[in-house]
Amino acid sequence: MKLFDVYPLFDITLSKAKGVYLYDDNGQQYLDLYGGHGVISIGHSHPTYTARLTEQIESIGFYSNSVQMPLQQELVEKLSTLSAYQDYQLFLCNSGAEANENALKVASFYNNRKKIVAFKGSFHGRTAAALNITDNASLSAEINKDNFPVEFIELNNEEQASHALSRGDVCALIVEGIQGVGGLDMPSDDYLNYLSQECRKYGTLLILDEIQSGFGRSGKFFAHQWANIEADIITMAKGMGNGFPIGGLLIHPKIAAKKGMLGTTFGGNHLACSACIAVLDTLKNEELMNHVVVMSDYIKQELSGINSIKKIKGKGLMLGLEFDFPIKEMRQKLVYDYRIFTGASANPNLLRILPPLGISKQEVAPFIQALNEIII
Ligand SMILES: Cc1ncc(COP(=O)(O)O)c(C=O)c1O
């Protein structure tokens, strides 16, 4: 047997990780500014995280959603306080795509409509409905296409949004807090307020995909909270479990649950809840969201002297550095010569960085230095 060969891989085997650092099988240290696609939020092998997971697996690792789950209650309480979505309902699943899949389903159950408005440059995952609302036709097989009508509109274009919604037949509009895979473009605060108001006017549910931009990544719990709006449904994953697979959706109280409406075998299991609770405790105890704001300003300031960076996109510690040349070679150099992991996106000129949220000025310094050296 061999692995289904779908991933382009670095020639690196990791055997250990701690905080912001990764170590390969030769003991070589790497600075992790990408967290395996934005997953590592509180840092690799954080002591709170390892202690909580170890303790959990020694008592009970898994049982399905057929028994009482006090851990899910603990998660709900901590999540509602930190996210400020106090009266919402939580459904737990296992990944980002699954969270979006369920969000669309919940929206359609609620208003019985099936048309979705999504955005150019969007990425929402690789399952059937999530692919249908992702602006990249090359990822879809025949079987995924045209399951339901989708209109892709331009980010920050009010006219297109109003035109798409005004027929009154749109089930949901879905927008990323900050576009990840697409290249770190984001809806402006004014635009989010506009969308929120238009959605309400036409009975369309507003879904915020915070799978990459949520859980403190932007400096607020969810990126859309910078705009002071409330969404009807918010989807989450990635940083939520700091590496343990967990996803979820927050659902407005006006949407009533019915037994059997949604379901999953693994979602919300004991280990997944423990991982997420450790993340929430650490976000709170280490005041990581304040730290993200400070570090974001610091990194932007340090990078402002590099002329070939045309623009710094994104918010908090979800940043896209847009150069005036393709970054492919630079990214290879960063990994193999400077031992620094960074990310790419659909924009060939954009370097994506999503470091662990607790990264310090000293820890990020080798990256700033490497960029200065490579670019000169
Ligand atoms: C904004 C956004 N939504 C959804 C997904 C899909 O998440 P997953 O890979 O966990 O299915 C991703 C993954 O990159 C994402 O960035």
Tens of pLDDT along the chain (376 residues) come to 999 999 999 999 999 999 999 999 999 999 999 999 999 999 999 999 999 999 999 999 999 999 999 999 999 999 999 999 999 999 999 999 999 999 999 999 999 999 999 999 999 999 999 999 999 999 999 988 878 999 999 999 999 999 999 999 999 999 999 999 999 999 999 999 999 999 999 999 999 999 999 999 999 999 999 999 999 999 999 999 999 999 999 999 999 999 999 999 999 999 999 999 999 999 999 999 999 999 999 999 999 989 899 999 999 999 999 999 999 999 999 999 999 999 999 999 999 999 999 999 999 999 999 999 998 6
Residue 152 has a pLDDT of 98
- b (16+ CB within 10 A) / e for 270-299: bbbbbbbbbbbbbbeebebbebbeebbeeb
Find out whether the beta carbon of 175 lies less than 6 Å from any atom of ligand 1. no
| Cβ proximity of 65 and 257 under 8 Å | no
86 phi, psi to nearest 5 deg: -60, -45
CA distances from 83 to 215, 250, 354 (A): 8, 10, 20
The pLDDT, as a whole number, for residue 145 is 81
Q: To test ligand 1's pocket by mutation, which of 211, 224, 352 has the most ligand atoms within 8 angstroms of CB?
A: 211
Whether the CB of 176 sits within 6 Å of ligand 1: yes
Question: Which phi and psi angles does 205 have, rounded to 5°?
Answer: -85, 140
> Does an H or E element contain 367, and which?
helix 361-375
pLDDT value of residue 79: 98
Q: Are strands 170-176 and 14-18 parallel, antiparallel or unpaired?
A: unpaired
* Cα–Cα distance, 162 to 166 (Å, whole number): 6
Are 210 and 223 a contacting pair, CB within 8 Å? yes
CA distance 108 to 276: 28
Among candidate residues 309, 312, 304, the one with its CA nearest the CA of residue 327: 309
According to CATH, the topology of domain 14-43+288-375 is Aspartate Aminotransferase, domain 1 (3.90.1150)
Q: What are phi and psi of 11, to 5 degrees?
A: -85, 65
Q: What residue owns the CA closest to ligand 1's atom 3?
A: 124
Q: Is the CB of 123 under 6 A from ligand 1?
A: yes
212 in contact with ligand 1, CB cutoff 6 A: yes
- 34 contacts: CB under 8 Å, gap ≥ 6: 341, 342, 343, 352, 353, 354, 355
State whether the beta carbon of 180 lies less than 6 angstroms from ligand 1.
Answer: yes
* Topology of domain 48-285, CATH: Aspartate Aminotransferase; domain 2 (3.40.640)
Q: What is the pLDDT of residue 147?
A: 86
Counting from 1 in the atom list of ligand 1, the atom nearest the Cα of 100 is 4
- Tell me, using a 6 A CB cutoff, whether residue 94 lines ligand 1: no
3-state DSSP of 119-174: ECCCCCCCCHHHHHCCCCHHHCCHHHCCCCCEEEECCCCHHHHHHHHCCCCEEEEE
Q: Of all protein residues, whose CA lies closest to atom 7 belonging to ligand 1?
A: 96
CB-based contacts of 316, cutoff 8 Å, min separation 6: 216, 217, 218, 219, 220, 223, 292, 293, 296
- Ordered by start, the domain boundaries in the chain are 14-43+288-375, 48-285
Residue nearest to atom 4 of ligand 1 (CA): 124
For ligand 1, what atom is nearest to the CA of residue 126? Answer: 11
Residue closest by Cα to atom 10 of ligand 1: 96
Question: Cβ(37) to ligand 1 under 6 A?
Answer: yes
Give the mutation target among 122, 124, 222, 352 for probing the ligand 1 site: most ligand atoms within 8 A of CB: 124
Check residue 146 and give its pLDDT: 79
> Is residue 278 lining ligand 1, measured as CB closer than 6 Å?
no
Asked whether 218 and 320 are in contact (CB, 8 A), the reply is no
Report the separation in Å between the CA atom of 297 and the middle of ligand 1, taken as the mean of its atom positions: 26
Pocket lining: 222 vs ligand 1, CB cutoff 6 Å: no
96 ligand 1 Cβ < 6 A: yes
Q: Looking at residue 375, what is its pLDDT?
A: 80
Which ligand 1 atom is the nearest neighbour of the CA of 98? Answer: 11
Nearest protein Cα to ligand 1, atom 13: 125
Pocket flag, ligand 1, residue 179 (CB < 6 Å): no
CB 125 near ligand 1, within 6 Å: yes
CB of 104 sitting under 6 A from ligand 1: no
What is the maximal distance between C-alpha atoms in the chain?
62
Taking the CA of residue 180 as reference, the ligand 1 atom at the shortest distance is 16
C-alpha 121 to ligand 1 mean position (Å) = 13
